[in-house]
Structure 1
Amino acid sequence: MGGSKASSTSEVGNGLPRCGCNETMKLLVSKSIENPGRKFWKCRNYMNGCGLFLWDDLVSEFAVKETNPSGCRQCEVNKAYLIEFAKEIVEEIDCRVGKLNKLEKLKKKIAMEKRKNLWEKELAAVKINAADVDIIANELELDKKVAERTLREHKGDAVAAIRHLLH
């Protein structure tokens, strides 16, 4: 209300508007600088903590819309619009969830690639004996690349590599 002062009151017998505490409200006229002469409704329990305050022109506008049949048609139009709008929002959410899922999969794939590249670098850094590669490849009848990789995976330990290949 912002500094409104009431000069006149009138009671409404038909119960409109009523406060949430089910009290009929008082119609007052503002004497404030911001809203001179503007009518407003105030709950009878306003000073006791209810705090409900409504400008009369807004209440009157609502009451007219409520009793006007074209207002009902407008409500149906608004309802249809809101339903369509809600559907669009759901579609947008679904689209964004799909994009987030794709990004999450891509993130996991990138993380796996990084781990694989790191593993390959670690294997390449392992010092191995070329003679061990030849012995493993010849004795177990394997491709030299398989023998070399297995030997690197076992940190150059030829016995551990052979055991792994035999089991």
Structure 2
Amino acid sequence: MSGSSKASGQMADVDITKVTPQQLQQLAKSIEQEIEVLTQSYSQLVSAVNKFHDSKLVLNYVKERSHGKEIMVPLTSSLYVPGVMEDNNKVMLEVGAGYFLEENIDKAREYCERKSKTLQDNATKVGEIIQVKKVQHSKIEDEYKKRLATLQLQQPAK
């Protein structure tokens, strides 16, 4: 933003000091909607980062403590059956769209770390965009309030 008179992003060419109060309201509403969508995306990214972190913890547990022990094997997201861990160095790694790879624990952990870092970086970028949008919204709201105050001063007292 240059000064307090321009909004950035898709509204970069809009000088908020020269638009009507109705246009300011529309612009504020548009930015509020953007913030809402971005906030949902941010939450989903943080949730995914947490899932990969949990997966790394499970991989550590499997490698260190599961050989020869009975575990619950997931068949679906809600159906588990008991099984015995015979090889605690190999796991099935879901890589997306229903595809699985057999990997050793260390490579699976590296995969989780890479995905977690990528998702965390994306969450950080989205968080920064949210902050910029909040500043834009605040400046638009301030301009709107200033305009209302000016209009009220210009109206003759009754």
Above 0.5 in TM-score? Answer: no
Q: Which has the higher contact order (CA 8 A, sep 6+)?
A: 2
Band the TM-score falls in, shorter-chain normalisation: 0.3 to 0.5
TM-score when scaled to structure 1? Answer: 0.36
TM-score when scaled to structure 2? Answer: 0.38
